[in-house]
């Protein structure tokens, strides 16, 4: 892991999303997500945001099928796998690793807070080199909308129990790939090779 805002010795690699010219990915493989929160379920994929940025996207279903066929069903094990093995299996030039750090709902007196936080890391599958990394956190708060103390407490409790994390996760996945900290446009985007100044 590179420290936030760190820059590689050659001055080409930064966590802000600038990728060395020789290492620009065209076919990033999104591997299963690792979750460090006990509440994770039905986590959304990042295939659509990546495709919208102009990258070829490997179908999630087929990716899972191939991995399981080789005995790789556990996301944690896949994250520890050598990137070169992913290149052999899929021909992908990069792999996107996502770790969920927070997927929680907190209820405190008259307000509730729902948070989704994820770390993203893109690695070259031939060398294992980190090409890009970012963190995205989306928080939704509720409470204090009136109706008296009892009404506010009930509203906050209901919101904490019935929260749908999916919209927050989709929002995080969409935001993280956009300027200024996201990925430059891929080869299938109209801005490919022309948006570097935004990062």
pLDDT at 154: 56
- Residue 102: both structure tokens together: 């927070």
Phi first, then psi, for residue 69 (nearest 5°) are: -65, -25
Q: Which of 37-41, 115-119, 161-165 has the lowest mean pLDDT?
A: 161-165
Residue with tokens 């070829």: 56
Computed over every residue of the chain, the mean pLDDT equals 81
Cα separation, 64 vs 80, in Å, equals: 16
Looking at the DSSP assignment, which residues form a beta bridge with residue 102?
A: 117
Distance CA 187, CA 74 (A): 31
pLDDT at site 12:
31
Alpha-helical (H) ranges within 162-195 are 166-176
pLDDT at 124: 95
Per-residue model confidence (pLDDT) at position 2: 45
Q: Phi and psi at residue 111, in whole multiples of 5°?
A: -145, 155
pLDDT at 16 over 60: no
- Quote the CA–CA distance of 37 and 104 in Å, as a whole number: 7
Report percent pLDDT > 90 for the chain.
53
191 upstream amide cis, omega within 30 of 0: no
Name residue 118's beta-bridge partners. 100, 136
Residue 26 pLDDT > 50: yes
Domains of the chain: 21-105+115-138+165-178 (3.40.50.10610)
User: Please, what is the Cα angle at 120 between 117 and 121, to 5 degrees?
Assistant: 155
Cα-trace Rg, the chain: 19
Stated pTM of the model: 0.79
- Output the pLDDT for position 140: 81
Residues 93-107: pLDDT tens digits?
999 999 999 988 776
């Amino acid at each position: 892991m590179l420290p936030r805002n760190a820059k590689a010795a050659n001055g080409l690699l930064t966590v802000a999303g600038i990728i060395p010219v020789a290492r620009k990915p065209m076919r990033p493989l999104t591997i299963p997500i690792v979750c460090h929160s006990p509440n994770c379920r039905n986590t959304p994929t990042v295939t659509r945001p990546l495709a919208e940025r102009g990258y070829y996207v490997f179908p999630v279903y087929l990716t899972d099928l191939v991995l399981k066929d080789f005995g790789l069903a556990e996301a944690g094990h896949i994250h520890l796998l050598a990137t070169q093995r992913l290149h052999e299996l899929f021909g992908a030039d990069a792999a996107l690793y996502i770790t969920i750090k927070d997927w929680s709902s907190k209820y405190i007196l008259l307000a509730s807070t729902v948070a989704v936080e994820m770390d993203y890391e893109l690695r070259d599958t031939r060398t294992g080199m980190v090409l890009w990394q970012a963190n995205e956190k989306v928080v939704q708060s509720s409470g204090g909308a009136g109706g008296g103390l009892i009404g506010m407490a009930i509203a906050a409790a209901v919101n904490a129990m019935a929260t749908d994390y999916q919209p927050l996760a989709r929002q995080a996945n969409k935001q993280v790939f956009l300027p200024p900290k996201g990925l430059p446009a891929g080869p299938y985007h109209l801005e490919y090779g022309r948006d570097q100044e935004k990062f």
